[in-house]
Amino acid sequence: MELPRRWFFRLLLLIVAAGSGILFALYSSALGLPTLPGIRTTPRCQHPLYLAIGRNHRFRGLFDLSIPVLLWGGLFTPELWDNLSQHKVPYGWWGLPREAIVSTLSLLNSSESAKLFATSRKPAPSCVRCAVVGNGGILNGSGQGPKIDAHDYVFRLNGAVIKGFERDVGTKTSFYGFTVNTMKNSLISYKHLGFTSVPQGQDLRYIFIPSSIREYLMLRSAILGTPVPEGPDKGDRPPIYFGPEASASKFKLLHPDFISYLTERFLKSKLINMPFGDVYMPSTGALMLLTALHTCDQVSAYGFITSNFRKYSDHYFEREKKPLIFYANHDLLLEAALWRDLHEAGILWLYQR
């Protein structure tokens, strides 16, 4: 019996769709793209960044999308302690008290602590689009706020002033990344410019960058809702910074091995071989942007250094133009070159003007 014409075309479409899936799987295999849990291998985005990585010879050899981004209790083993105890923070635990590390990680004991994005979000976006918002002066007068807020998730960091700059930087904050030092310094240095408190919100998550023992102690106290018991932040009450909610799912901790991997493969600066090279580490903005590049399907970067950075003030919220400050513990020009190359490779989209 001859099939009706409409059924013939439906059958043909099904065959084509199935064939496309097979071809895509073969293409991914040929490129060596990861097929581990949590790594997307179906083309649900128009331009997913992992396909751009696979097409670029240089970055295909640098990215490892299977490496754990976050550290949580389920990853702690005696072997991990022995390994990380050989390296100084932020790349390890050398010189840090084991009890403080273990007691903190024991509180990050659910699978939510292992994931950046909440699995309870409904409906979950089929293509996770992330905006990472730096604090560069290029954003002043940019009018990019609505475009930033249109992303599924928005990362902010350090002195993220929003009030009065909504049109340029948006209002949405999904993740706030920091070290305790950069957070507290921002609250002091930029208070008169509008940064009077750390972003807060029910759905907001905090990403701790473990640059010292301070992050582990502050994180533990934040989850328990108790004052910090010792160290430079002794007596601090975390709810002042992060709000009253004390659920462990609200807090994320970057894995020291992830920071080491990012430094070694993407931002291995010559500063490491200079005097005081031990203090070198990627900037907070760099760590947040690279975190997004390892967890999102598409990433847009706003407020990061571009080739014409001298035209703009150091920060978008400054009332008078100030030159970009190059601190000895960061290599901002190396980072700028990386953002340019990733943009040109189509792996991220860098806002420029």
The predicted-structure confidence for 201-228, as pLDDT tens digits, reads as follows 989 999 999 999 999 999 999 999 999 9
Q: pLDDT, tens digit, for every residue of 106-157?
A: 999 998 999 999 766 566 778 999 999 999 999 999 999 999 999 999 999 9
By mean pLDDT, which of 54-58, 115-119, 161-165, 235-239 is the weakest?
A: 115-119
Nearest one of 128, 135, 121 to 178, comparing CA atoms: 135
Look at 95-109, 185-199, 270-284, 323-337 and tell me which has the smallest mean pLDDT. 270-284
Average pLDDT over residues 165-187: 97
Looking at per-residue confidence, does 326 or 262 come out higher?
262
Which DSSP helix (H) or strand (E) runs through 104?
helix 98-105
According to the model, what pLDDT value does residue 119 have?
Answer: 66
Q: Report residue 251's pLDDT band, with 50, 70 and 90 as the boundaries.
A: very high
Q: Is the pLDDT of residue 58 over 80?
A: yes
> Is 93 in contact with 84 (CB distance < 8 Å)?
yes
Please give the helix or strand (H or E) that residue 132 lies within, else none: strand 129-133
Q: pTM for the full model? A: 0.86
3-state secondary structure of 167: helix
Instruction: Give pLDDT, residue 120.
Output: 61
pLDDT of residue 1: 43
* Residue 1 CB neighbour total at 10 angstroms: 3
- Note the pLDDT of residue 337: 95
Q: Mean pLDDT, the chain, as a whole number?
A: 87
**What is the pairing mode between strands 251-253 and 129-133?**
unpaired
pLDDT given for residue 342 in this prediction? 98
Give residue-wise pLDDT tens across range 64-98.
999 999 999 999 999 999 999 999 999 999 999 99
Interatomic CA distance for residues 298 and 106, integer angstroms? 33
pLDDT at 277: 64
268-319 per-position pLDDT tens digit: 887 777 766 677 899 999 999 999 999 999 999 999 999 998 899 999 999 8
**Token pair listed for 184:** 């507290």
